[in-house]
């Protein structure tokens, strides 16, 4: 029996999936179809790509700018902080900063220029003084020697400057070992004196040198010299020995002759000393040259020297600092600038004693004729103290700056700064 309700068959039929021509199933009527994702327009893809590229370029640009900034900062740090603080040299472990060296080099350059100008002006002034031409010859020669030294230093200012700075540290260190270092009070006083000098302010402002540079490398050596000189002055007695003596000088090959002369002098108590001196002594002002063989222009000068020589004045020994008096001796003292072996013998001998002494010049047949004790004046004692101090300082200075006793690195400023090195390099 057929179903009287047609909708029922229809409902049953619609609930099955329908077959398609290709064998696939067709979704039932009334079932929702899933929506496909919308396609992005081509313009949107292009904009996204450009945005990514733009971000990449910004990143690169930022990195470049950052690198430039860091390079500038690093360069500034090197130029103004790191490099100036670098040690250009060390002296026994004590450093000399590059910035101090560069400033002090400009200072030394100006000083050398000023010194050269001053020396030249003094030379011109002395040369123009025709009235005292003869007396000025030696002084002019001394000034010309100084000028040559200054000119040599100007040929390589960097090396000269560094050597001066190294020397300053060597002196400070050596002075400290003997308790003669510069004190703060002394350095303050020295700096105050420098500031009062004419041209000091312009010199400092023109070179950029700092007070610390001048204090360490210019003022300190001056104070150290004063302290060391005083250190070696020692004490001076109120009296000192003095003696008068004469000698006959023969060559180092004539020891037998010297002994024979000494015996002859002892035998007659020096009665023939003057005659023997004129005959045998080579201390005759000619230095072994025959005057007759000299050019005529030089013969007069040689004869004058011979006339004032020991051999032609009884063999007498004279203090070179005292005026010449014909055939007369002068008192010899411990301060007399004389051959050390001869002076020491003279001051230790008794009147009438005869002794043969050897020196670098040969054999001296010496006879002391008088001996006394001299009471020193205040001026003489001060002069002796100064002389002792100067001699002591010179010996100390040589030792203090001895390259074998100091560890200086680099060891040679001239190798570190070959000639013609530009200032400030």
Mind listing the pLDDT tens digit for each residue in 333-385? 998 989 999 999 999 999 999 999 999 999 999 999 999 999 999 999 999 99
- For the stretch 92-101, contacts whose Cβ atoms lie closer than 8 Å and that sit 24 or more positions apart, written own/partner, are 92/169, 92/170, 92/173, 92/406, 92/407, 92/408, 93/407, 94/169, 94/173, 96/162, 96/165, 96/166, 96/169, 100/165, 100/210, 100/212, 100/213, 100/216, 100/217, 101/161, 101/162, 101/165
- Would you state the pLDDT for residue 77? 56
Before 331, cis peptide (omega within 30)?
Answer: no
CB burial class (10 A; 0-12, 13-18, 19+) of residue 221? buried
Residues 54 and 46: their CA atoms lie apart, in Å, by 12
- Would you state the pLDDT for residue 382? 93
Per-residue pLDDT of the chain (425 residues; tens, 9 = 90+): 444 444 443 444 444 444 444 444 545 555 555 655 555 567 777 788 778 888 888 888 888 888 887 777 767 655 665 555 588 999 999 999 999 999 999 999 999 999 999 999 999 999 999 888 888 999 999 999 999 999 999 999 999 999 999 999 999 999 999 999 999 999 999 999 999 998 899 999 999 999 999 999 999 999 999 999 999 999 899 999 999 999 999 999 999 999 999 999 999 888 899 999 999 999 988 776 677 677 777 777 778 888 889 999 999 999 988 888 999 999 999 989 899 999 999 999 999 999 999 999 999 999 999 999 999 999 999 999 999 999 999 999 999 999 999 999 999 999 999 886 555 55
- For the residues of 199-245, what is the DSSP string, one character each? THHHHHHHHT--HHHHIIIIIHHHHHHHHHHHHHH----SEEEEEEE
CATH of 240-292+304-375, one of 3.30.497.10, 2.40.170.20, 3.40.50.300, 3.10.50.40: 3.10.50.40
* DSSP-assigned beta bridge partners for residue 89: 96
Domain limits of the chain?
Answer: 49-82, 90-234+387-402, 240-292+304-375
316 close to 369: Cβ distance less than 8 angstroms: no
Answer left, alpha or beta for residue 64, where phi above 0 means left and psi between -120 and 50 means alpha.
alpha
* DSSP-assigned beta bridge partners for residue 241: 373
Residue 290, SS3 per DSSP: coil
CA proximity to 419, closest of 162, 109, 159, 148: 159
Residues 349 and 398: their CA atoms lie apart, in Å, by 33
Q: What is the largest CA-CA distance in the chain?
A: 194
Residues 303 and 281: their CA atoms lie apart, in Å, by 16
CA proximity to 167, closest of 420, 358, 401, 406: 401
252 close to 362: Cβ distance less than 8 angstroms: yes
423 close to 274: Cβ distance less than 8 angstroms: no
Mind listing the pLDDT tens digit for each residue in 184-229? 999 999 999 999 998 899 999 999 999 999 999 999 999 999 999 9
Dihedral angle computed from the Cα positions of residues 289, 291, 293 and 298, in that order, rounded to the nearest 10 degrees: 100
- For the residues of 152-205, what is the DSSP string, one character each? HHHTTHHHHHHHHHHHHHHHHHHHHHTT-PPPHHHHHHHHHHHHHSTTHHHHHH
Crossing angle between the packed helical segments 255-267 and 273-280, to the nearest 10 degrees: 160
CA proximity to 388, closest of 236, 272, 165, 172: 236
Residues 221 and 215: their CA atoms lie apart, in Å, by 9
Reported residue count of the chain is 425
Residue 55, SS3 per DSSP: helix
Residues 6+ apart with CB under 8 A from 145: none
Element (H, E) at 273: helix 273-280
Model-level pTM?
A: 0.66
């Amino acid at each position: 029996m057929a179903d009287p309700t047609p909708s029922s068959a229809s409902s049953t039929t619609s609930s099955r999936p329908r077959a398609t021509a290709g064998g696939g199933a067709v979704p039932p009527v009334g079932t929702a179809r899933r929506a496909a994702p919308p396609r992005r327009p081509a313009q949107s893809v292009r904009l996204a790509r450009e945005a990514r590229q733009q971000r990449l370029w910004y990143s690169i640009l930022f990195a470049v700018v950052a690198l430039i900034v860091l390079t500038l900062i690093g360069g500034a740090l090197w130029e103004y902080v790191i490099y100036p603080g670098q040690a250009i040299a060390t002296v026994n472990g004590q450093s000399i900063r590059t910035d101090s060296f560069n400033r002090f080099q400009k200072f030394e350059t100006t000083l050398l220029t000023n010194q050269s100008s001053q020396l030249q002006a003094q030379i011109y002034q002395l040369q123009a003084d025709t009235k005292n031409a003869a007396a000025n010859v030696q002084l002019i020669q001394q000034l010309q020697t100084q000028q040559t030294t200054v000119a040599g230093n100007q040929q390589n200012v960097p090396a000269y400057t560094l050597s001066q700075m190294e020397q300053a540290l060597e002196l400070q260190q050596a002075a400290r070992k003997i308790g003669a270092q510069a004190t703060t009070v002394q350095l303050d006083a020295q700096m105050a004196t420098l500031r009062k000098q004419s041209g000091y302010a312009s010199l400092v402002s023109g070179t950029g040198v700092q007070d610390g540079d001048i204090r360490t490398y210019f003022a300190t050596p001056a104070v150290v010299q004063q302290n060391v000189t005083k250190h070696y002055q020692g004490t001076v007695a109120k009296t000192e020995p003095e003696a008068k003596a004469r000698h006959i000088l023969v060559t180092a090959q004539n020891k037998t002759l010297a002994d024979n002369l000494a015996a002859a002098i002892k035998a007659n108590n020096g009665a023939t000393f003057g005659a023997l001196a004129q005959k045998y002594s080579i201390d005759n002002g000619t230095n072994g040259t025959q005057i007759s063989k000299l050019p005529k222009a030089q013969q007069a000068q040689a004869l004058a020297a011979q006339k004032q020589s020991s051999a032609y004045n009884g063999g007498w020994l004279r203090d070179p600092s005292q005026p010449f008096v014909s055939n007369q001796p002068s008192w010899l003292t411990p301060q007399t600038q004389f051959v050390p072996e001869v002076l020491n013998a003279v001051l230790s001998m008794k009147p009438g004693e005869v002794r043969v002494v050897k020196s670098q010049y040969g054999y001296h047949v010496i006879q002391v004729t008088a001996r006394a004790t001299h009471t020193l004046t205040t001026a003489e004692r001060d002069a002796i103290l100064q002389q002792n101090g100067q001699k002591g300082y010179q010996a100390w200075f040589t030792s203090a700056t001895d390259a074998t006793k100091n560890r200086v690195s680099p060891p040679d400023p001239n190798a570190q700064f070959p000639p013609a090195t530009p200032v400030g390099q």
